[in-house]
């Protein structure tokens, strides 16, 4: 079957695409037959004819891939792919691309919102509102002059630093090579992490998943943060030892914690994180904005054009 054969299917799954965006895709995809399905509706798709698959990625499994003999390319509408069976893609020669960097602005806004939430003690004022009490005894803290440390200086880390600098924050990036970045005032190697943690007012983790970063944030490391520091994780949940984090928080070791990602997703209803004071949880939605999907689809359409013309794909993951 050739690229773009009239019987080829472009399958869009797990994406809440409106009619306007779907129309843009259908127009650019001709002569592909575009099929969009919601979560769990894969049975309605002729999997044997799917050549291109656009998805967030949570539904990609070895089992379903083996039902798609014509599949040549998967476009993930996110940057992470730690749950994708890369070995199966490698074995089959299936290409995979991501929307790396497209969601950096949205995640950076989330980080700054959470930083302001804790430094201005908004949880306290929410409690006062519930009991209708006027109390001005609490004094918040300004962002200007505070130290924000970002572990991981990729696209998201850079955008967080760029926007935090506009608030007058001092930004420090931490990576393995200590390679400088113009978005940060200072970049240090991972060997200097303990020093940074002792100085930072806000620590943000953008670490990816995988064995190398699993439980990077263990109890011993989290205890090195200042007692009134804020910890925010927008990377991958597996990088945080949840039990170790709970131990530190319960002892009053941190001013606040914001978690958008978790070791287990969805987070079980009875998990102790839900009702731990000082912790704000969001269901892996830091990048989920009304504007994000349009940008991600534009990235996909650029790659679709490149795919049909035999050009290299943007943000292709080397699975070979």
Distance between CA 306 and CA 303 in Å, rounded?
5
Residue 290 falls in the annotated catalytic set: no
Distance between CA 39 and CA 54 in Å, rounded?
13
End-to-end CA distance of the chain: 22
Cβ(208)–Cβ(197) under 8 Å? Answer: no
Distance between CA 217 and CA 223 in Å, rounded?
10
CA 27 to mean position of chain CA atoms: 30
Domain extent listing, the chain: 9-102+290-309, 104-281
Band of residue 39 on the pLDDT scale cut at 50, 70, 90: low
Band of residue 320 on the pLDDT scale cut at 50, 70, 90: low
Cβ(247)–Cβ(254) under 8 Å? Answer: no
Q: Is the pLDDT assigned to residue 299 strictly greater than 90? A: yes
Average pLDDT over residues 276-287: 97
Residue 5 falls in the annotated catalytic set: no
Residue 236 falls in the annotated catalytic set: yes
Which listed residue (284, 290, 295, 316) is catalytic?
284
Cβ(259)–Cβ(278) under 8 Å? Answer: no
Architecture of domain 104-281: 3-Layer(aba) Sandwich (3.40)
Domains 9-102+290-309 and 104-281 share a fold: yes
Q: Quick: pLDDT tens for 121-150.
A: 999 999 999 999 999 999 999 999 999 999
Question: Tell me, what's the pLDDT at 228?
Answer: 96
Alpha helices for the chain (secondary structure H): 19-29, 62-65, 86-92, 104-119, 122-130, 155-166, 193-199, 219-222, 242-250, 292-309
User: What is the share, in percent, of the chain residues with pLDDT greater than 90?
Assistant: 91
Q: Is the pLDDT assigned to residue 110 strictly greater than 70? A: yes
Which listed residue (16, 27, 243, 265) is catalytic?
265
Q: Which CATH class is domain 9-102+290-309?
A: alpha beta
Q: Record the tokens describing residue 92, joined without a space.
A: 């089959």
Q: Quick: pLDDT tens for 157-214.
A: 999 999 999 999 999 999 999 999 999 999 999 999 999 999 999 999 999 998 999 9
Which listed residue (236, 243, 250, 271) is catalytic?
236
Q: Quick: pLDDT tens for 142-151.
A: 999 999 999 9
The conformation of residue 39, written as its DSSP 8-state character, comes to T
């Amino acid at each position: 079957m050739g690229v773009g054969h009239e019987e080829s299917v472009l399958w869009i799954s797990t994406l809440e695409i409106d009619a306007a965006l779907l129309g843009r895709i259908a127009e650019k995809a001709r002569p592909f037959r575009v099929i969009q399905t919601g979560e769990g509706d894969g049975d309605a798709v002729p999997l044997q004819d799917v050549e291109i698959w656009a998805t967030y990625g949570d539904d990609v499994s070895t089992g379903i891939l083996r039902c798609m003999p014509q599949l040549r390319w998967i476009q993930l509408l996110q940057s992470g792919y730690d749950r994708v069976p890369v070995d199966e893609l490698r074995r089959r020669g299936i290409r995979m691309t991501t929307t790396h960097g497209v969601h950096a602005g949205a995640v950076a806004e989330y980080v700054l919102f959470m930083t302001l939430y804790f430094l201005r003690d908004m949880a306290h004022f929410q409690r006062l509102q519930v009991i209708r009490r006027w109390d001005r005894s609490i004094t918040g803290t300004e962002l200007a002059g505070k130290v924000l440390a970002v572990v991981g200086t990729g696209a998201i880390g850079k955008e967080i630093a760029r926007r935090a600098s506009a608030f007058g924050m001092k930004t420090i990036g931490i990576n393995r090579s200590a390679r400088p970045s113009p978005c940060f005032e200072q970049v240090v190697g991972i060997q200097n992490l303990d020093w940074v943690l002792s100085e930072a007012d806000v620590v943000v983790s953008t670490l990816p998943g995988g064995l190398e970063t699993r439980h990077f944030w263990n109890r011993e490391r989290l205890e090195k943060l200042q007692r009134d520091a804020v910890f925010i994780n927008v990377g991958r949940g597996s990088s945080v030892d949840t039990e170790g984090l709970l131990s530190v928080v319960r002892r009053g070791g941190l001013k606040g914690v914001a978690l958008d990602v978790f070791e287990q997703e969805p987070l079980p209803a009875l998990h102790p994180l839900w009702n731990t004071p000082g912790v704000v949880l969001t269901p892996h939605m830091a990048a989920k904005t009304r504007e994000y999907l349009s940008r991600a689809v534009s990235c996909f359409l650029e790659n679709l054009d490149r795919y049909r013309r035999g050009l290299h794909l943007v943000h292709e993951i080397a699975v070979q």
